[in-house]
Each structure stands twice: as C-alpha cells, then as structure tokens.
Chains A and B, each alone.
Chain A
Amino acid sequence: MPSKTAAEGILRGPEHDPTAALSIHDLTVAYDRRPVLWDVDLDVPPGCLAAIVGPNGAGKSTLIKACLDLLPRVSGDVRMFGSPWRQVRSRVAYVPQRETVDWDFPVSVLDVVAMGTYGRLGWLRWVGKTQKQAAMSALERVGLTEYAHRQISQLSGGQQQRVFLARALVQDADLYLMDEPFASVDAATEQAIIEVLRTLRGDGATVVVVHHDLQTVAEYFEHIILLNMRVVASGPMDSTLTAEHLRATYGGRLTLLEQAATALGRLSQPK
C-alpha cells in the first residue's frame, strides 16, 4: 500500500515549492495499521497565518506532529523553507496541546518559557541571564510578566496556553506550528493570542494553527487547510472556504453544517 501511494505521488504530485514556508508532499501517517492521514499534499506560503480545520479525528494534530517527526510517517516528505525539518530545526517553533503536560510539575512559569532557549543552548549549558531576559520579554508579550515566578499549577487554563505561546516566542522562529492554542481559552485570551500571532506575521513569520472554531477562522486567518484524513482543500481563505468544501470536510454532521452556514454568512458580509 505505501509503495502504491508513493508511486502515485511521483506520477501526479506537484513538486515542492522551494519558496513555501511549509510544503508537504504525499504524506501518509498510520497508527498501527489504521491510516489517519492519506496522501497529504499542501503548501503554506511564507508570511501568513494559516488554519488547519476539520472535524474531530480528522488528523489535524497528527499532521503537525508528523511534520516535526514526532510521529513516524508511512511515506511522504515534508520541507520547511525548502529543507527537511532537521536542517532548519532552529527556525521552527512548536506549541503542543496544553493537555499533553502535567501542570503540577515542579517548575516555574519563567523556567518553562526559558525552555524555548534550550535549542540554541545545547545540552550542557544552563540558562543564564540572557536567556532569562529573553524569557521575560516573551512573557511580557503575552501579558504574564507578574506570573513569572509562580508555579505553573497556579495558572488558569488560558494563562497556561499563553505560557506555551511565550515559550515558542522565545525560540524566535520563522515558522510556528501550534496545536489548538485557542482550546478552552476565554474571549479575552483569544484576542490576546491572535494579536501576538498578527505581530509575528507582521515580522514576516509564518504561523500554522490547528483551529476549531469555524466562526472565527475567516476573520483570523488568510490561508486555510480543510482536512479530513485527506486534504479536502488548501489555499487562500476567500477562494477555499466554500460551502462545497465545508460539506466535503464535515460530511453530513448537522450541527457542524450549521456552523459552516454561520461561517459562510460572515464571509459574505462586506468587511
């Protein structure tokens, strides 16, 4: 099976776009023998905010993890700025889902954010003054300065999410991959986060976000990847977020179709 998809990919797949910030070619990922992503082909242009959207179980998080080699691929090739991830690692930052870590861990907010400097520090050097300053200024950007010396369990969910964001900011990357940074945060936090993302884009970075909320996707992002085990559609927001694509992505799920209708209603309104 893998060889077949690979062969197909060679026959019909587009070549990597060397200018793309993220370029995925013929990616297939499986848990045991059950495939969760099939033949993913997409390009994300540099300097944009891109959303990965799709129903539960569509493989959105899997896609991000596979890009970072956190999951083994059955086949496929991922390029960032034209090179494999390992060669451009320091230009890529990752924001995992908040639930993946134990927030009772004995570590302070500042220590977590400073982990963003470890990539440059290497194995043996410890966090010093420069790294702490970088971490403090990242905390300032997400509005958590006064929480720097708290233990992380004392934070609310939205604050924890911003700590993860700050840790990625410290990495000062060109490509940010974020797994549900808006999950269960309040409206104010969501606004704060999206402001930070816009600043990143303003500085020329590319941000790829797993996003759940169809109501806001058109407002926040200008590039969209509609995913349901395969890429249903991928491209600029205006031409890609269509009723047809949404139906293909979300299938016959009624409640989700309602959301889709709302999203479309917003789209058709003049901005």
Chain B
Amino acid sequence: MQQVTSMLDILLLGDWNTRIVVFGTAMLGVAAGVVGTFLVLRKRSLLGDTVSHAMLPGVVGAFLVMQAFGGGGKSLAGLLLGAAVAGVLAAWAIPVLRRSTGLKDDAIMGIVLGGGFGLGIAMLGVAQALPGGNQAGLESFIYGRAASMVRSDAIGIGITAAVTLLIASTMAKEFRLLCFDESFGRAIGRREGLLDLGLMLLAVTVTVVGLQSVGLILVIALLIIPASAARFWTDEFVRMVTLAGVIGAVACWIGASVSAMAPKLPAGSIIVLTLATLFAFSMVFGTRQGALCRIVRSAGLRRRTDRQHLLRAAAEWMETSGVDRWTIANLAPMRSWSRGRLRLLHRRGVRSGDVAVTDDRFMLTKAGRLAADRVVRNHRLWELFLIRHADIAASHVDRDADLVEHVLGEEAVVELEQVLTRGDATPQSPHPLGGDP
C-alpha cells in the first residue's frame, strides 16, 4: 500500500526534485518527437543513430582534455560540449563522404557510426586506466543515467529542449517543404543545404540532451518511434508532429517516474519500452493505417460485394426462369460458390431483410427487390460502358464489370446513365446469363 502511494506520489510529481527531473525529461521527449518526425519524413532516420554513436569519442575526448588542463574532468557541460562537437563532425562527414565517394547514405552512416563508436570505446579504455577515470561515470553515457540526474541537469535539459522545440515548430513549414519536395523548394529560392544544416543541428542538440537520460544507444528510439507511431493515426503533417511530441513526452514521463521509483531500472530502457508499447498499440489500433482498421475496411467491402453478388444472382435467376422463388441449388451454379458459403450469404440476407425464407425456398423481400434492381442496373451499365468505350469483348465483360462495380460511387453511376441510357430502364444483359434456368 505504501508502495502504491509512493508510486502515485512520483507519477503525480509529489516530490519537488522528482518533479523537475520528470518534467525536464518529458520536455526532451516532446523535442525528440518533433525533430524525429522531420528526420523520418526526410528519410534520414539513421542520422540520429550515427550522430549519437559518434558522440562517444567526443565525450571521452572532452574528459581527457579537461583532465589534462587540471580540471576534474567531471564537468557535465564540458562533456556534453565534447559530445556536440563530435556529433556535428559526424553529421558533417556524411554529406562530404557521399559527395567524394559516391557511396549510398546507409553505407556511409554505417561507416561513420561504427568508426566513431569504435574509436570512443578504445578511448574509454584509455581514460578508465587513468586515475579518476572510473569515477567520472563516462560509461553511463552509453546507457543513460537519469536516476543520478540532479535538479540543475534537469533544468538544463528542459530549457535546451524547449528552445529546440520552439525553433523546430517555427520552422515546421519549411521543414515540411524540404521533406516533401526539395527541388520545388530550391526552385522558389529555399537553400536546401541551409535547411538540412538546421535540421541536423536540431537533431544533434536533441541527441546531446538525450545522452544523459536515455544514453547514446537508445536515443535513436526516442527520435524515430514517436513519429512512426503517430503516422498510424493521421495523414496530416501538423497533427503528426504534434502527436509524435505527445507520444515522446508520455514515454519520457513514464520512464523518468519509474526510474525515480526504482533506481535500479535505467530510465532509458523504460522510456524505450514504453515507446515500443505505444508503437505496437498504434500499429494495431491506429485509425488511419492501423492493422485493425485495414481489416475492418476490407471486410466491409467484402461483405458489400457478397451481398451485391447474391442480389444479382437472385435477380438474374428470376429473369431467366420466370420464377421468383429459388433454392440454394438453383443459385449455386451461377458463381463459383460453395454450398456452405451460399448458405451463409442467405443467412446474412435474411438477417438484413433482403431475403425471406419459407421451407428452404427463398425469395426477395420488397426492399431486397429494390436493392437487387439497383445492383443489376449498375452492373449492366458498367458492362455496356466497358464494351462501348473500353473495347472489351462481350464474353469477358462480366468479370471485368464485376471487379469494378462494387467500388463505383453514386456520381459515376449517374454519369454512366447519362452516357448509356436515355430513359430509366435497366438495360438488357449484353451476354447470355450464367447458370441453368
């Protein structure tokens, strides 16, 4: 019980120190989500990963320099400055290598990432052999150390993230143009290089700030996952950016709180796990591109198609046989239906009120009759259109018409009517109707 209270205390920011750490980290989450969206849309997702890994030699180098000049080597600002310098160098090296070698971006990023991180690990070995090297906690930059973050660190993080966010949102319109159509941007006088440089500096800033809380290995997740998750919910740029910011903030809030509660759990991993969960949730339930939403949509179309097929088969049966009742066996030869499936469609038809049943013989209800007339009419109109205007042979037209008619809108049907018929009558079928009468 006491544990629950303390957890609530932390989540609701009861403790002043925790409040600042959590708030600073959440601010970082917003900035990372927003800047990350630009990176993802610019198809430069891996830039963040490359830059963050290449920061390790910068951090260790800064430590060595500070020690050589007599400082303790523990100044956080100094270490982060080293990280920033290395990050900018790495980001600058990518386009330079691209131009001079002709290699593709992904290969170049792999080279810079691996080379930088390898150098950093080697330097770390050297630094830790020095007196005082172990106490500087250099290793914690690899995995992050939000738990040991003090109030002044958090305030610094929060302010930097807020400034980054401000710049990013002011420039969002230009970044959108850059990401969508850079050549048009240049044709109206935008300097692509300048914008890319700005975007890169924002990414470096977010990464530097993120080093402390999530660490250089996981910071990439904070940049990419919010944007990727947000895309499942919206087709609109500003909404996507906003949502990515919110997702980043939520994950950081939860991560920082949990790690404040249980200092053994590193904040970085909690943040990334939260992000992964949010991503999985969005992937399934997202209202725009989520898996469930797609399934529902295609199931809807399938049901509509099935219903129209049944109605048309019934109408054509009535037209060819002159009888207005039928059995499952009558309709089965008209399409490649199994008996079981046809029974299912009839059951649905009865449920929706299209079909009435007495002693295994079916007939259309009044409403079903109207719907069937409309379906047949659309089908014939479309067949005629295909024959007259698309040069498709009459023997093939049934199947082609079948493929298209279920997705025709009302407007298209009206247009077809104007093209093909003057009166209101349903045209004759241009080919013999299938099935035995």
Contacts and interface: CB of A to CB of B under 8 A. Distances in A.
Interface in A7-44: none
Interface in A90-142: 92-94, 96, 100-102, 105-108, 111-112, 115, 118-119, 123-124, 126-127
Contacts of A102: 180
Contact of A106 (B174, B183, B236): B236
Given A107-B237, A118-B173, A126-B173, A69 B186 contact: yes
Contacts of B234: 106
Contact of B183 (A93, A96, A105, A127): A96
B187 A70 contact: yes
Contact of A68 (B186, B237, B240): B186
A266 interface: no
A118 B188 contact: yes
Contact of A118 (B170, B177, B179, B237): B177
Contact of B187 (A68, A127, A153): A68
B174 A123 contact: yes
B70 interface: no
Contacts of A112: 180
B177 A115 contact: yes
Q: In the complex, which of the residues A93, A106, A153 has the most CB atoms of chain B within 10 Å of its own CB atom?
A: A106
Nearest to B41: A105
Interface residues of B, number: 24
A111 B186 contact: no
Interface string B220-244: 0000000000010011110010000
Given A96-B183, A105-B180, A106-B236, A89 B173 contact: no
Contacts of B236: 106-108, 151
A107 B188 contact: no
Contact of B237 (A96, A100, A106, A171): A106
A96 B183 CA distance: 8
B188 A119 contact: yes
Contacts of B186: 68-70
B181 interface: yes
B173 A100 contact: no
B184 A115 contact: yes
Contacts of A105: 41, 179-180, 237
Interface string A211-247: 0000000000000000000000000000000000000
A151 B183 contact: no
Interface in A136-155: 151, 153
B176 interface: yes
A111 B237 contact: yes
Q: In the complex, which of the residues A89, A102, A118, A171 has the most CB atoms of chain B within 10 Å of its own CB atom?
A: A118
Interface string A67-103: 0111000000000000000100100111010001110
A171 B188 CA distance: 9
B322 interface: no
Contact of B176 (A65, A107, A171): A107
B340 interface: no
Given A118-B188, A119-B188, A124-B170, A151 B235 contact: yes
Contacts of B131: none
A162 interface: no
Interface in B165-210: 170-171, 173-174, 176-177, 179-181, 183-190
Contact of A167 (B176, B183, B184): B184
A237 to B, nearest CB: 27
A198 to B, nearest CB: 23
A119 B176 CA distance: 14
A68 B176 CA distance: 21
Contacts of B231: 106
Contacts of A123: 171, 174
A108 B184 contact: no
A89 B189 contact: yes
Nearest to A94: B187
A150 to B, nearest CB: 9
Contacts of A68: 186-187
Contact of A107 (B171, B180, B185, B187): B180
B181 A115 contact: yes
A92 B41 CA distance: 27
Contacts of B190: 118
15 contacts: A65-B183, A68-B187, A70-B186, A89-B188, A94-B184, A94-B188, A96-B183, A100-B183, A102-B180, A108-B235, A118-B185, A118-B190, A123-B174, A124-B170, A167-B184
Given A70-B183, A96-B184, A107-B180, 15 more contacts: A68-B186, A70-B186, A86-B189, A89-B188, A94-B184, A96-B183, A105-B179, A106-B41, A108-B236, A111-B176, A118-B174, A118-B190, A123-B174, A126-B173, A127-B173
Instruction: List the 6 closest A-B pairs by CB distance, nearest first.
Output: A94-B187, A151-B235, A119-B188, A101-B181, A68-B187, A89-B189
